[in-house]
Amino acid sequence: MAEAATGFLEQLKSCIVWSWTYLWTVWFFIVLFLVYILRVPLKINDNLSTVSMFLNTLTPKFYVALTGTSSLISGLILIFEWWYFRKYGTSFIEQVSVSHLRPLLGGVDNNSSNNSNSSNGDSDSNRQSVSECKVWRNPLNLFRGAEYNRYTWVTGREPLTYYDMNLSAQDHQTFFTCDSDHLRPADAIMQKAWRERNPQARISAAHEALEINECATAYILLAEEEATTIAEAEKLFKQALKAGDGCYRRSQQLQHHGSQYEAQHRRDTNVLVYIKRRLAMCARRLGRTREAVKMMRDLMKEFPLLSMFNIHENLLEALLELQAYADVQAVLAKYDDISLPKSATICYTAALLKARAVSDNDSSLGGQGQGCHSFPCGVCLPSTALELALGVRFSPEAASRRGLSTAEMNAVEAIHRAVEFNPHVPKYLLEMKSLILPPEHILKRGDSEAIAYAFFHLAHWKRVEGALNLLHCTWEGTFRMIPYPLEKGHLFYPYPICTETADRELLPSFHEVSVYPKKELPFFILFTAGLCSFTAMLALLTHQFPELMGVFAKAVSVCLEGGLGEWTGKAKGSSIRETGLPCRNGYEPAKIIAHHLIFMIINGIKVLRVK
């Protein structure tokens, strides 16, 4: 019985929603018809005449006050709308209309059960969108004590947001703790330390844990947050490696004795991998790049399944520093696979290698005749590349006919692929936008990932002769190849719409977040801007030329009155008699109104001339 009543109420609600959605036009015409039928009892014509007389008696000061007030109110609305749009990326009026008015008018679709098949068909794309909006730990993140805190001491700015540091705290609790930590006093202290918000409380807890025994996670915390130099951090990480390696070997022997020992071994493995990776990064920072490469290779061989740390991105950066481009290509061949998640490091490093191939062949491209255009740094691009810079869609056949070499075609395609994956990177590589310290977490395809990549790889692009010039000439052509609006991508999935919101939480407030695609101004901002400008102009004209604007106001009122009179079906001569003009047979009411408007304007001009 209850189900039947519920079904009846839902059906009644759907009927009401349907009536609001589709029958409002019918109701509107019914109201107009009733007004037309009752025009005589309601004395609509007399009321219109009274309103017209009232408007004719108003002084210009009233119109100045009216237009000035309208301009002020619309200006305040414009300022508020612009502030709201800059802060939240949407129009306040539009958001309120969609959130509150649309459900009342039946704009919410309640037929979810009928659309289950279509939603199941779109599940793959939705899952892809969610995965691309996932926040990842930055594999090249800096050291808090030795790098982030030093930046704060020098500039007085906080390079990390609370959201970013909170994500790091969650990562530390996931990697460095397990359920059996309460059985060991030092680990129990560190389990609480990772949850502390105050840095000094975390450091004090780490020292307290070290007084009990050699705790690897305590050394990690001190190396990350207390050490003020990379060399000091490296010493602490070496002590952590000694303690962590012993714990790892002991737990490795007991991992099959139960789930508790297995969880402890998993924790010890994460700790050991983290320590070795950070030691390799310390060696890279201190200039021992070959040693860092060896440590990273050994780590990837020892723990091949731990891909969550993305050690291959650290390896790519170190190999580029050594200019070991053949080794870089070998790493890319392994990780630039369709089944693996992409990153800006993989896509742009592949583009850099293709651009380097163009630089190596620049001498052979120098004598191709008039179809070849030379650029600084030895890069020679035929006219097809210039067309690509202007946004022409890439055509390998046309490019081959015009003399574009295979190396150049591959380079342009690789740049287009990289820019489609992350369109924010070129502005940082071309130094069109200033860099900041990268955050501890990044959003793939977002501005945070672009900052993290360009911060470490800008020097590698500058080292390859002509690579930045090739990027400068071709990167904007990518946007002409991507459908707009971004309902689908060209080589990747459509660009996710959640990147701006996540990047604003990951990046500090003093950084201007790069937004793609560039948002158009909402309609209500343009409308209020036009309304404010129009009313301000009317107020100024009314103040300067009161008689002429009074003539215009009377003419507009007469036009409106004549139009309403024509709509209510009055006789042809009635509108002419109300205007006060002589009646002529054969004249339509619209022509009479136009003549009357011209007559009013001429009289206003005469008044100004007399003055």
Q: What is the rounded CA–CA span in Å between residue 11 and residue 498?
A: 36
Range of the domain at 598: 545-610
- Are residues 486 and 591 both part of a single domain? no
pLDDT at 475 over 90: no
Q: Are residues 266 and 404 in the same domain?
A: no
Query: How high is the pLDDT of residue 18?
Result: 64
Give the pLDDT confidence score for residue 600 in this predicted structure. 58
Contact between 141 and 440 under an 8 Å Cβ cutoff? The reply is yes
pLDDT by residue (tens digit) across 156-200?
899 999 999 999 999 888 888 888 877 888 888 988 888 888 889
Q: Which amino acid is at 200?
A: Q
- Give the per-residue pLDDT at 368: 40
Q: Mean pLDDT throughout 587-603?
A: 56
3-state secondary structure of 380: strand
Name every residue whose Cβ is closer than 8 Å to that of residue 37 and which is 6 or more positions away in sequence.
none
Separation in Å, CA 526 to CA 74, 175, 260: 11, 50, 63
Residue 131 within a domain: no
User: Which one, of 467, 453, 456, 363, lies nearest residue 412 by Cα?
Assistant: 467
357-416 per-position pLDDT tens digit: 876 665 444 434 333 333 333 333 433 443 433 333 334 444 455 566 777 788 888 888
Angle ∠(408,411,416) on CA atoms, nearest 5: 125
Smallest CA-to-CA distance from 350 within 284, 294, 412 is with 412
**Same domain, yes or no: 201 and 330:** yes
Question: Which has more confidence, 246 or 32?
Answer: 246
C-alpha span between 606 and 589 (Å, rounded): 26
Same domain, 369 and 481: yes
- Span 559-583, pLDDT tens digits: 666 655 555 554 444 444 444 444 4
- Cα 83 to Cα 208: distance, rounded to the nearest angstrom: 49
Render pLDDT for 120-157 as a digit per residue (tens, 0 to 9).
444 444 444 444 578 889 999 999 989 999 999 998 89
Instruction: Give the integer Cα–Cα distance in Å for 485 and 472.
Output: 24
Same domain, 454 and 485: yes
Cβ proximity of 289 and 322 under 8 Å: yes
Residue 115 inside a domain? The answer is no
Rounded distance, CA 216 to CA 205, Å?
Answer: 13
Q: For the chain, give the percent of residues with pLDDT over 70.
A: 64
In a domain, residue 172? The reply is yes
Same domain assignment for residues 388 and 443: yes
Phi, psi (degrees; rounded to nearest 5) at 442? -130, 160
Average pLDDT over residues 521-539: 70
- Position 295 scores a pLDDT of 92
Residue 377 sits in the same domain as residue 460: yes
pLDDT tens across 62-117, in order?
Answer: 767 777 787 788 778 778 777 777 676 667 777 676 666 555 554 444 443 444 44
The verdict on pTM exceeding 0.75 is no
Q: How far is CA 193 from the centre of its chain?
A: 35
pLDDT at 403: 60
The predicted structure's pLDDT at residue 599:
58
Residue holding tokens 């929603």?
17
Please report, for the domain that includes residue 295, its CATH number.
1.25.40
pLDDT of residue 476: 74
Q: 411 and 283 in one domain?
A: no
296 and 318 both lie in a single domain: yes
463 and 420: one domain?
A: yes
Nearest Cα neighbor of 75 from 546, 575, 534 is 534
Asked whether residue 288 falls in the same domain as residue 386, the answer is no
* 15 falls within a domain: no
In a domain, 58, yes or no: no
Q: How is 131-196 classified by DSSP, letter by letter? A: HHT-EEE-TT---IIIIIHHHHHHH----S-HHHHHHHHHHHHHHH--TTGGGSHHHHHHHHHTT-
Model pLDDT, residue 388: 39
Residue 582, domain member (yes or no): yes
Per-chain mean pLDDT for the chain: 74
Of the pLDDT bands very low, low, confident and very high (cuts 50, 70, 90), residue 308 is low
How confident is the model at residue 73, as a pLDDT?
A: 81
Return the C-alpha torsion angle 302, 306, 312, 314, nearest 10: -90
**Domain count of the fold of the chain:** 3
pLDDT the model gives residue 293: 93
> What confidence score (pLDDT) does residue 460 get?
92
| Residue 43's pLDDT band (cuts 50, 70, 90) | confident
Please tell me the distance from the alpha carbon of residue 134 to that of residue 137, in angstroms, as a whole number: 10
Question: Are 562 and 468 members of one domain?
Answer: no
Residue 521, pLDDT score: 58
Confidence (pLDDT) at 50: 78
The answer to whether residue 16 is domain-embedded is no
Q: Examine residue 48 and state whether it is found in any structural domain, yes or no.
A: no
